């Protein structure tokens, strides 16, 4: 019982000390790729620029959508293979 109680306390401590840095990813976007996104997506008719979003927020929204789609597809693939 002492071991189990210690494990629970360790998990509680881990959860109480989680920070944004624990989930931060940094990567470089090549200038030509950014310019292509800016022109083709952000500045497109009816795009985020027309809706009043800043380029930074628009890029963040684009990346979130792309990452969530890619991760969702990977989970679906693993489920179909019986890996999860």
Q: Is residue 10 part of a domain?
A: no
CA dihedral 46, 43, 31, 55 (to 10 degrees): -80
Question: In this predicted structure, what is the pLDDT of residue 30?
Answer: 97
Q: Is residue 76 part of a domain?
A: yes
Q: Is residue 19 part of a domain?
A: no
C-alpha distances (whole Å) from 49 to each of 2, 61, 65 are 58, 13, 17
pLDDT digits (tens, 9 = 90+) for 44-65: 999 999 999 999 999 999 999 9
Given a cut of 70, whether residue 3 has pLDDT beyond it is no
pLDDT digits (tens, 9 = 90+) for 16-52: 777 776 677 888 999 999 999 999 999 999 999 999 9
Q: From CA 27, how far away is CA 44, in angstroms rounded?
A: 25
Total domain count for the chain? 1
Question: In this predicted structure, what is the pLDDT of residue 59?
Answer: 96
Domain membership of residue 72 as a residue range: 26-80
């Amino acid at each position: 019982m002492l071991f189990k109680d210690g494990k629970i306390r360790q998990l509680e401590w881990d959860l109480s000390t989680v920070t944004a840095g624990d989930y931060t990813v940094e990567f470089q976007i090549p200038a030509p790729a950014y310019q292509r996104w800016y022109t083709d997506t952000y500045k497109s008719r009816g795009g985020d620029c027309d809706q009043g979003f800043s380029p930074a927020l628009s890029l963040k929204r684009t990346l979130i959508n792309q990452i969530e789609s890619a991760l969702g597809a990977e989970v679906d693939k693993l489920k179909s293979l019986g890996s999860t």
